[in-house]
Every structure is written in C-alpha cells, then in structure tokens.
Amino acid sequence: MIYDIYMEVKKIGSDKDKKLGSFLEKLCQFSLEKGATAVGIISVNEIEFNEENTEHDIQNESLYWPYVTFNKDPISKILKAFKKALVFKICYLNSSSVNRLDTIKKVYEIAGKGEAYCFYNGYHLAVSLAAENCRTIYCQKENDCQSLTRGCGCRYPLIARPSIEACRLDRSKIIEILKWETDESKQNFMGMVFVD
C-alpha cells in the first residue's frame, strides 16, 4: 500500500539548502496525484489545540485512540515545533457506493506517502496524521490493540497513525483557516503532514 512506489532519495543537507516554499508546492501536487480531493498549507502556529478530555469508548481504545498520550513525548507540544503542515481531505459522499472504510484507508495511504515524500526529500522529521481510530480501520477483527500490551509492538508498524483529533488539534479551526466549505451531503476525511 504505502510501499508500492519508489521515491528518489536526496542526501541530507544543511538547513540553508532547503527551499521549503517550493517543496510544499510539490508536496501539494503529490498529494493530489495520490488521490486527495483538496489540499492546503497551514502555518502550525495558527492551529489551535484542544487540551480538554472528553468521555470515550474504552472498548476501542488503541495506542492512538481516543488521545495520543506519550508521557515523555507530549504530542501537541512536539507538533508545535513544526512550522508548516499540509492538510488534505478526501470527500466521501454519504450516498456513495464506495466503501467508507476504503476511503479512510486512502487517507492513511496519502498520509504515509506524503510523509515518505518529505523523508526522502530532506525533511526527515516530517510526521503525518490520518483519520479516525486506526484500530477500527486495521485491527477490527482483533481482540485488542497490541501496542497497549507492555512489551509488544504495533501489528501495523509504519502504517498506523493517529487522527488529527486524537492529537488534540481543533479540526474545525483548520477548516476555517483553509476556508473549506462544509456540505452535509459529504463527509470530509482529513489528514495532515507536518513538514518542517
């Protein structure tokens, strides 16, 4: 899925060699080619984070759901270290015959490939976010999230990702910044790639 393409690799250079602006344009184009309906670039300092906890369904708890809670690595604080992020969305018509699950998996695919594109082009710290709960997407037939067992790893390393909400980003604020319209006949699945 994510690894079915080859990417040109560039040697890691110094910061002065980077041209973030032009790279972000290429990343936008790349994401659209991979199936995103719309893309936008956002400054991370514009993003709002919602630190409040809400009640959640314990049954579907995973490493990344309902919230990403790494005690030594608070994710919202770390994401604020980035300057720019790509936001993309895939529109899903509620009346569509396309499987909803497949549409969400597409978000994971674009997020993963976008991150890989950054990695091989000198932005080695890029990180991406996908949609919903990866457990219900990839481990729906399993009894648990393997990562929650001490000493065990994820069943889908390099594929599973947290959602925007699970990292406490205010999704509606992002939509407002990008001036994306909301349409009740469509569901927008969003993903992000934090670049640099």
Contact flag: residue 3 with another protein (CB under 8 A) = yes
Helix (H, G, I), strand (E, B) or coil at 142: coil
> Positive or negative CA dihedral for 95, 91, 169, 146?
positive
Nearer to another protein, 13 or 21 (CB): 13
Helices 100-120 and 20-33 cross at an angle (nearest 10°) of 150
Residue 184 CB, nearest distance to another protein (Å)? 31
- Whether a cis peptide bond, with omega within 30° of 0, leads into 162 is no
Degrees (nearest 5) of the Cα angle 14, 16, 17? 75
Report the candidate in 103, 108, 122, 114 with the shortest Cα–Cα distance to residue 194: 114
Binding residue for another protein (CB under 8 A) from 54, 59, 71, 97? Answer: 71
Contact call for residues 195 and 31 (beta carbons, < 8 A): no
In angstroms, the CA 60 to CA 57 distance is: 6
Interface map 104-143 toward another protein (x if CB under 8 A): --------x---x--xx-x-xx-xxx--------------
7 belongs to the binding site for another protein (CB under 8 A):
yes
Binder to another protein among 16, 141, 150, 179 (CB under 8 A)?
A: 150
Among 103, 110, 135, 162, binds another protein (CB under 8 A): 162
| Ranges within 19-58 binding another protein (CB under 8 A) | none
Q: Does 185 bind another protein (CB under 8 A)?
A: no
* Strand partners of residue 93: 186
User: Closer CB to another protein, residue 18 or residue 186?
Assistant: 18
Chain residues in the site for another protein (CB under 8 A): 2-3, 5-14, 63-64, 68, 70-73, 75, 77-78, 81-82, 112, 116, 119-120, 122, 124-125, 127-129, 147, 150-154, 156-162
